[in-house]
């Protein structure tokens, strides 16, 4: 077998072993009756509770950007990757999940989009013969954090007496689904 033909066969075999890139999900959309400032406040609360760091927010524009960086499988509650468990790529993975929340519209309602993107870096593989040390396609968001934020934005907080027999003036928050 000629070396050219052998090379072509090896490329086909190796290419067949590489799993396909995970599907990049569309942003999660929700309509909210909250103000832009409230949308930013609620999104910030949900994201920080999930371990994200807020990198930018603008209450007048209705935008929030948050990031969560973890090593190895640390972000796997919110992301999926195309490589096998305990692979060389996974053991060197540092993933950064970025969530962008954007509210548009004015008046009584806002259209909110929640989008997640993942940057996979491999600092332990720098200087190796591998072709790249970072990728925007090796990993993708599962949509879980986006749905969590969108669901929180679709709920309204009402106040009701904590217990019917408690003194007047003591109220507790109750979350109810929005019917928009």
pLDDT at 1: 53
Q: Which residues contact 9 (CB under 8 A, 6 or more apart)?
A: 1
DSSP for 95-127, written as a single string: EEEEEEEEEE--TT-EEEEEEEEEEEE-GGGTT
Among residues 147, 175, 176, the alpha carbon closest in space to that of 29 is found at 147
- Domains (ranges, CATH) in the chain? 20-153 (3.30.310.80)
Q: What integer pLDDT is reported at residue 179 of this predicted model?
A: 41
Q: What is the pLDDT of residue 157?
A: 46
Averaged pLDDT in 10-residue chunks for the chain of 180 residues: 43 44 78 90 96 94 95 87 83 92 84 93 73 82 93 65 51 46
């Amino acid at each position: 077998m000629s070396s050219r033909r052998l090379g072509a066969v090896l490329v086909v075999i190796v290419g067949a072993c590489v799993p396909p890139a995970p599907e990049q999900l569309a942003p999660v959309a929700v309509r909210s009756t909250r103000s832009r400032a409230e949308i930013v406040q609620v999104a910030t609360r949900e994201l920080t509770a999930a371990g994200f760091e807020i990198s930018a927010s603008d209450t007048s524009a209705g935008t929030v950007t948050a990031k969560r960086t973890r090593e190895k499988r640390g972000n796997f509650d919110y992301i999926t990757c195309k490589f096998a468990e305990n692979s060389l790529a996974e053991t060197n993975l540092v993933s950064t999940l970025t969530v962008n929340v954007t509210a548009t519209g004015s008046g009584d309602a806002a259209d909110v989009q929640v989008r997640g993107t993942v940057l996979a870096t491999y600092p332990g593989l720098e200087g190796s013969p591998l072709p790249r040390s970072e990728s925007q396609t090796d990993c993708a968001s599962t949509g879980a954090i986006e749905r969590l934020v969108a669901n929180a934005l679709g709920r309204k907080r009402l106040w009701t007496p904590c217990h019917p027999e408690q003194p007047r003036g003591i109220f507790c928050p109750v979350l109810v689904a929005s019917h928009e």
